[in-house]
């Protein structure tokens, strides 16, 4: 019995009398026919990926300036001191009288001595009338002139008043009411952050020709190793980005109104207050730092105004500047311009934390400087430069963060401890730690939890940012 003779052998296995390269000797994997492959030589293959974007991870900011601590509740609440001294803005003054209005809280009492100012002229007065529950006081100037003569016969609503002491005659009783100290309470809530990666069993068994690698050191010829690793790194970036960009859902917002699908009526979206939102609401915002428009005196003038604002707040000596590239260069130019118009490294000048010498003329960057009574450490913040984050919007130029700590009572430890002004709180207890959870489900890769022919890698965290003493922070924004 012999082979059937129908059909014919492919031409690719037809013997050739000479040692020549012909199309018929090769198999074309891209063509339906097996005898149409005309490529004579295999391509030169680079086995490794090219890291054209460098290190793509963005997290690390909070690790530099803060800490992470557990919490057991759905909410974190902290209190901050108010100012010690008594002062009022937007005080009203009626022409023709010594009555000042829009003074609340009964903090200014009879026999208090006060300074009254309209921003140009000041008068020192003794309070003669300050009825409880009334927003008006009567202030008698120490000079022979009345308030009407001092400030003019014009009604105004922009007066400023502060208390500097008191005066009593002999034998008279003291203050009739006490001034109770007040504290300001702040709160934030953690949000649950999730992500996952899935690979089928067939794809997990496939070997590729390119060696893949990621920033965390994971490498190999299995593509899903790279995909899982990048999912984890992206998720870790989201943990920090949520603490930076988080926004509380306002009452009546569409986000709170979302009540469909997996959302239940008792677990509606609420948001969380991130760093930018905290500084915007409770801190200081500087719009359009002069920089590029006026890198010398203009930028320095803007910066000095910022210092004046810091003087009015906590006056914390050491601060860190996290800036985008353009603003970091503006600061370099601002500092350099103070050396007679040239770079300080060409002059015999020393700028606080950064000593420049003639031999360092090629170094035009400054990592730190001192202005007034403040030290500043400057660094680039990759998050503000990356083309897929704030480098895309280009509306945040940088942030000034005080390098200090605050003393607070820790309920878990039962004692007062010192914490950075910025720190992350994550949900955790003796049985559940939600700082960064990761688990595998499915029936691939060692997991046998279901009949799903895939491996699912899940990530979860529940956390929020605590921004204490936000009045000492400055957010640099660009409005144009």
Residue 349: its pLDDT value, please? 47
- Helix residue ranges, H only, 288-418: 297-312, 325-336, 382-385, 390-393
Residue 134 tokens read as: 């009334």
Written as six digits, the tokens of 165 are 């002491």
CA 212 from centroid of its chain's CA atoms: 32
User: Do 158 and 240 belong to one domain?
Assistant: no
Whether residue 219 is found in the same domain as residue 116: no
In a domain, 52, yes or no: no
> 140 and 222, same structural domain?
no
**270-291 residues labelled b (16+ CB within 10 A) or e (exposed):** ebbbbbbbbbbebbbebeebbb
Tell me if 319 is assigned to some domain.
yes
In the chain, the percentage of residues whose pLDDT exceeds 70 is 76
Phi, psi of 158 (to 5 degrees): -125, 25
* pLDDT exceeds 70 at position 353: no
pLDDT at 310: 92
Closest to 421 in 3D by CA, of 66, 71, 69? 66
Please give the mean pLDDT across all residues of the chain. 80
Give the pLDDT confidence score for residue 323 in this predicted structure.
92
Confidence at residue 344, expressed as pLDDT on a 0 to 100 scale:
41
3 state DSSP class of 131: coil
Domain that residue 9 falls in: 1-44
Average pLDDT over residues 189-215: 83
Q: Residue 130 maps to which CATH number?
A: 2.40.10
371-427 confidence digits (pLDDT tens): 888 999 998 999 999 988 998 888 999 999 998 766 655 555 566 656 778 889 999
pLDDT of residue 346: 40
One-letter-per-residue 3-state SS of 143-194: CCCCHHHHHCCCCEEEEEEEEEEECCCCCCCCCCCCCCCCEEEEEECCEEEE
For residue 175, is it within any domain?
no
pLDDT of residue 114: 95
Give residue 287's pLDDT.
Answer: 92
Averaged pLDDT, 146-175:
88
Distance, CA of 49 to CA of 90 (rounded, Å): 63
pLDDT attached to residue 56: 77
The 10 Å Cβ neighbour count of residue 177 is 11
Task: Grade residue 285 by pLDDT with cuts at 50, 70 and 90.
Answer: very high
What is the average pLDDT across 203-229?
Answer: 75
Give pLDDT, residue 78: 84
Q: Model confidence over 358-387: pLDDT tens digits?
A: 454 445 557 888 888 899 999 899 999 998
Q: How confident is the model at residue 262 (pLDDT cuts 50, 70, 90)?
A: low
With 0-12 CB in 10 A as exposed, 13-18 as middle and 19+ as buried, what is 349? middle
394 belongs to a structural domain:
yes
Lowest mean pLDDT, pick from 18-27, 138-147, 453-462, 469-478: 18-27
Of the ranges 1-15, 210-224, 464-478, which is most confident? 464-478
More confident residue, 161 or 119: 161
Domain boundary among 123, 143, 170: 170
% of the chain at pLDDT higher than 90: 31
Asked if residue 294 has pLDDT above 70, the reply is no
What is the number of structural domains in the chain? Answer: 3
Residue positions counted in the chain:
480
174 vs 52, higher pLDDT: 174
- Asked whether residue 50 is domain-assigned, the answer is no
- pLDDT score of 462 more than 60: yes
User: What's residue 254's pLDDT?
Assistant: 73
pLDDT at 22: 55
Highest mean predicted confidence (pLDDT) among 208-222, 406-420, 429-443: 429-443
For residues 103 and 75, membership in a common domain is answered with no
Cβ–Cβ < 8 Å for 427, 463: yes
pLDDT at 417: 58
φ and ψ of 123, to 5 deg: -140, 140
> Looking at the structure, do residues 71 and 135 belong to the same domain, yes or no?
no
Last residue of a domain, one of 106, 137, 170: 170
Would residue 49 count as lying in a domain?
no
Read off the pLDDT of each residue in 170-178 and give the average, rounded to a whole number. Answer: 86
What integer pLDDT is reported at residue 15 of this predicted model? 54
**Among 141, 170, 199, which residue terminates a domain?**
170
Q: Are residues 247 and 299 in the same domain?
A: yes
**Which H or E run contains 437?**
strand 437-442
- 313 pairs with which residues across the strands? none
13 and 67 housed in the same domain:
no
Specify if 176 maps to a domain. Answer: no
Residues 380 and 447 in one domain: yes
Confidence band of 42 (pLDDT split at 50, 70, 90): low
Judge if 299 and 316 occupy the same domain.
yes
> Looking at the structure, do residues 36 and 62 belong to the same domain, yes or no?
no
Q: Are residues 350 and 324 in the same domain?
A: yes
- pLDDT, tens digit (0-9, with 9 covering 90-100), for 308-352: 999 999 888 889 999 999 998 888 888 877 655 444 444 444 444
**Does residue 195 sit in the same domain as residue 237?**
yes
pLDDT interval class at 38 (50, 70, 90): very low
């Amino acid at each position: 019995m012999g082979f059937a003779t129908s059909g014919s052998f492919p031409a690719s296995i037809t013997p050739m009398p000479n040692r020549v390269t012909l199309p018929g000797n090769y198999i074309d994997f891209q063509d339906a026919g097996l005898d149409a492959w005309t490529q004579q030589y295999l391509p030169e293959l680079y086995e490794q990926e090219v890291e054209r974007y460098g290190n793509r991870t963005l997290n690390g900011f909070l690790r530099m300036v803060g800490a992470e601590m557990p919490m057991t509740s759905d909410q974190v609440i902290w209190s901050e001191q108010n100012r010690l001294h008594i002062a009022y803005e937007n005080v009203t003054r009626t022409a023709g009288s010594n009555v000042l209005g829009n003074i609340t809280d009964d903090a200014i009492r009879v026999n208090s001595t006060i300074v009254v100012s309209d921003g140009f002229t000041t008068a020192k007065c003794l309070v003669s009338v300050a009825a409880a529950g009334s927003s008006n006081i009567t202030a008698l100037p120490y000079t022979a002139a009345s308030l009407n003569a001092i400030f003019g016969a014009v009604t105004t609503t922009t007066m400023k008043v502060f208390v500097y002491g008191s005066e009593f005659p002999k034998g008279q009783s003291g203050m009739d009411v006490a001034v109770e100290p007040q504290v300001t309470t702040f709160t934030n809530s953690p949000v649950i952050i999730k992500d996952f990666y899935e690979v089928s069993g067939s794809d997990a068994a496939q070997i590729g020709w390119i060696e893949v690698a990621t920033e965390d050191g994971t490498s190999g010829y299995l593509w899903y190793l790279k995909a899982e690793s990048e999912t984890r790194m992206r998720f870790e970036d989201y943990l920090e980005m949520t603490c930076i960009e988080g926004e509380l859902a306002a009452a009546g917002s569409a986000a709170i109104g979302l009540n469909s699908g997996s959302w239940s009526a008792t677990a509606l979206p609420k948001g969380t207050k991130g760093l930018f939102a905290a500084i915007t609401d409770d801190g200081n915002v500087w719009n359009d730092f002069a920089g590029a428009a006026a890198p010398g005196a203009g930028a320095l003038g803007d910066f000095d105004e910022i210092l004046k604002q810091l003087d009015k707040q906590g006056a914390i000596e050491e601060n860190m500047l996290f800036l985008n590239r353009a603003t970091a260069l503006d600061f370099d130019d601002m500092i350099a311009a103070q050396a007679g118009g040239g770079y300080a490294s060409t002059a015999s000048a020393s700028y606080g934390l950064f000593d420049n010498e003639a031999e360092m003329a090629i170094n035009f960057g400054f990592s730190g400087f001192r202005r007034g009574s403040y030290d500043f450490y400057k660094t680039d913040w990759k998050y503000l430069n990356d083309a897929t984050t704030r480098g895309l919007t280009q509306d945040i130029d940088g942030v000034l963060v005080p390098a200090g700590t605050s003393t607070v009572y820790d309920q878990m430890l039962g004692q007062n401890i010192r914490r950075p002004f910025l720190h992350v709180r994550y949900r955790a207890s003796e049985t559940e730690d939600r700082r960064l959870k990761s688990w595998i489900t499915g029936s691939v890769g060692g997991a046998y939890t279901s009949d799903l022919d895939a491996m699912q890698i899940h990530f979860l965290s529940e956390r929020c940012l605590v921004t204490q003493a936000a009045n000492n922070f400055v957010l640099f924004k660009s409005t144009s």
